[in-house]
Amino acid sequence: MNSILIKKIRVIDYSQSIDNELDILIDNGCIKDLKKDINENADIIIDGRGLIAAPGLVDMHVHLRDPGFTHKEDIYSGCKSAAAGGVTSLLAMPNTKPAVDNPEIVKYIIDKSKSADANVYVCASISKNLEGENICNLEELADAGAIAFSDDGRPVVSTAVMAEAMKKADKLGLLVTAHCEDLSLAKGGIINEGKISEKLGVKGIPNAAEDCGTAREIALAAAYNVPVHICHVSTAGSVALIRDAKRRGVKITAETCPHYFMLTENELLKKDADYRMNPPLRTETDRLAVIEGLKDGTIDVIVTDHAPHTAKEKSDFQTAPNGSIGMETSFIASITSLVVGGHLTLNELINKMSAKPANLLKINAGTLHIGANADIVIFSIGDTYIVDINKLHGKSTNTPFKNMKMSAKIHTTICNGKIVYNGD
């Protein structure tokens, strides 16, 4: 494995309270040294002047579609997409075919990802076949290597099953991530319920569907004094519920995605299914509430909910499946909107996209301390980058950020001491 020396680069590492121009020496896949003026020889030397280095991003909400839907994405193509966006560790969701509800599928994902361009961690399903009624053997799944549990893509229908899963996961020291949605309220909806759904004459999904789901998970976490992590927060109501729960000491954390703090339901006037995801794009009031939640710490983490679909599947606005891709754009979009936009400092953003998710998942990531895995993203701010779907690295192109101008650019991604993306 090649040794790498990065010279005179601005290093931002929230885990060590570092924001300074330093050199980084990588050897044998790990950070060997981090200080000014390192004078050791290295196989590869990177001139970091004008660039910024941070711990590789940790995306704790990704759909790799493998096994079962590899025409949309697979572990290798998904990790190439991750590398191009600065993501070096990701949590793969369980709504594959078959679902990740048995040890064999957990092991399949772990084994296949060993040669991929990112570190892949497995989120196993809470219920058998993701049907929300019968709990899986969480202990067996954990023994096989799963580090979290979720039925993401759907809520866990049975409140009793969700309560049992949260208690069992807590005993295992692992995280439950919750897709919060009342299916009886959301049934048949394809976009946000409101003026745009009325104008287009399509059934909408009300904010109440998410808010009721969020309220249930908060109630369970409070009643049993166990943690829960709320997925893809999109409504002002959910932000308020989570904020109140945190003030009361409930063990709750939450995530959102760039599309929820950058875009609104107005995008659906294009009748382009690439702007359809679940939860859906909401109103300007919701968008601003999500930003406030990020600013005051109500929302802990920024993820992508990377959900690839083929162009053919996305061609019909009414019948297309929900979901959009995001790993290649999440960091540069967040910098553009939140840092350049004046809502978060760069250090705060890196915490929400690297150190904090690594801490929640209890994985060896999110830091550049000496001896840590050499997972690094090198980027610049101020460069103009246009999102071109013809230059994306995954199998699918269903991004809501297509043709958007960003104010940042990923230059190099290093994963376990290996350069996995170099601006190409």
Pairwise CA distance, residues 308 & 383, whole Å: 27
Q: Which of 120, 26, 11 is nearest to 371 (CA)?
A: 26
Q: Who contacts 46 (Cβ-Cβ below 8 Å, separation ≥6)?
A: 4, 5, 6, 7, 9, 378, 412
Tokens of 103: 């040890």
DSSP state of 177: E
Q: Who contacts 126 (Cβ-Cβ below 8 Å, separation ≥6)?
A: 135, 136, 138, 149, 150, 151, 156, 161, 162, 165, 176
Is 316 catalytic? The answer is no
Out of 27, 66, 117, 305, the active site residue is: 305
Q: With both helix axes pointing from N to C terminus, report the angle between 284-296 and 236-247 in degrees, rounded to the nearest 10.
A: 30
The burial of 151, by beta-carbon neighbours within 10 Å (0-12 exposed, 13-18 middle, 19 or more buried), is given as buried
End-to-end C-alpha distance for the chain, whole angstroms = 21
CA–CA distance from 179 to each of 23, 151, 360 (Å)? 42, 7, 17
The burial of 298, by beta-carbon neighbours within 10 Å (0-12 exposed, 13-18 middle, 19 or more buried), is given as buried
- Contact (Cβ atoms closer than 8 angstroms) between residue 132 and residue 158: yes
Active site residues: 305
